[in-house]
Amino acid sequence: MTATVSFPIESPLGPRTATVAYERKGAGTPLLLLHGIGHHLQAWHPVTDILAAEHDVIAVDLPGFGASEPLPEGVPYDLGTFVPALGALCTALGVERPHVVGNSLGGLLALEMGRSGLVRSVTALSPAGFWTEAERKYAFATLRAMRIGALTLPPTTLERLSRSAAGRTALTGTIYAHPARRAPEAVVAETLALREATGFEETLAAGRTVRFTSDVPGLPVTIAWGSRDRLLLPRQGVRAKRTVPDARLVRLRGCGHVPMNDDPALVCRVVLDTVRATTGHSA
C-alpha cells in the first residue's frame, strides 16, 4: 500500500514542506529505491519482493512524480533541493543512512547522496550525468518525445495499444529491452505517470547543466549499465568508472535503460552484492 509523509525541506525561499508518496515492506537494513524522470515507484515492483526478503525496502515517488505532490511553488527541481530533501525524507521515516539504489535520474541522486555521506552504499543503474553534450541532447529529445506522446495519446488508444506486444513495444520500447514482457496495466500506469508528472519540465531543464564529476569515496559503489540501453548509451558507464574509480562497473546483459523489468533476478543480485560489500567499509 502506498502511504504519504510530509517533512520540512530547506529552499532558497526558506523552510517549506514536501509531501512524498512511498511504499515500504520487509525488515532489516533499510534500502531506498529511487526511480527515473517521468517514472514512478512502481518501476521497482519486479524486484521489491525479492529485496524485501532481506531488507526494509522503501520505494519513493520523487517530488513532482507519481503520487507525490509537486515541490512548493518557487522551489527548484535541482540537485541542491532533491538530495537534502531525500535526506530529510529518511529522517522523517526514521531511517539513518540507508543503502540506496537509483535508476537514471535516481542513479544520479543516489551517487549524490553517497557523495554527501547520506547512505551506506550506492547502486546506480544507468545513472544520468555521465553524458557528452551530444548524448545529453539526444536523451533529452527522446524523453521529450515520450512525454509528448504520453500527453497527446487518447486514453482509449493507450488502452488498446497496451493489450498487444507490438503496442507495448511502441509505448515503452525506448526504456525496456523486452517491452512485450510488461503487463498491459503497468504500461498504462507508467504512461499516465509520465503524462501527469508535474515536475518533468523543471527537472529536465535543471538537468541541462548537470555532470557528475566527483568521486564517491569511502563506501561501496556499483554502477550498472544495460547492454541494450537506448536512452543513456552504455559507453557512458566507462566514463562513470573513470569518475568513480573504485566503483564496480557491471554490464547488465540484455537489459535496457530500466533494467528492473528486463531481468529482475540480475538486478537484485547486483544490488545485494553491493549491500553485502559494506562489510569492511565504515558504516
Q: What is the pLDDT of residue 10?
A: 87
Q: Is residue 224 part of a domain?
A: yes
Q: Is residue 84 part of a domain?
A: yes
Residue 8: its H or E element: strand 3-9
Residues with Cβ within 8 Å of 268's Cβ and at least 6 positions away in sequence, in order, are 47, 50, 51
Question: What percentage of the chain's residues is helix, strand, coil (to nearest 5)?
Answer: 45, 20, 40
Q: Is residue 273 part of a domain?
A: yes
d(CA 151, CA 166): 20
d(CA 108, CA 214): 12
Q: Is residue 75 part of a domain?
A: yes
Residue 92: domain span = 2-132+210-280
Q: What is the pLDDT of residue 26?
A: 97
The answer to whether 281 and 219 are in contact (CB under 8 A) is yes
Q: What is the pLDDT of residue 1?
A: 83
Q: Is residue 197 part of a domain?
A: no
Cell 503520487 belongs to residue: 67
Q: What's 99's domain CATH number?
A: 3.40.50.1820
Q: Is residue 146 part of a domain?
A: no
DSSP letter for each residue of 14-70:
S-EEEEEEEEEE--SEEEEEE--TT--GGGGHHHHHHHHTTEEEEEEPPTTSTTSPP
Q: What is the pLDDT of residue 282?
A: 45
**pTM score of the predicted model:** 0.96
Cell 509537486 belongs to residue: 70
Q: What is the pLDDT of residue 19?
A: 98
Q: Is residue 138 part of a domain?
A: no
Q: Is residue 161 part of a domain?
A: no
Dig out the grid coordinates for 190 from the structure: 507508467
- Total structural domains within the chain: 1
Q: Phi/psi at 23 (nearest 5 deg)?
A: -125, 140
Regions of the chain with pLDDT less than 50:
282-283
Burial class (CB in 10 A: 0-12, 13-18, 19+), 261: buried
What Cα–Cα distance (Å) separates residue 193 from each residue in 56, 148, 199, 203? Answer: 25, 13, 11, 15
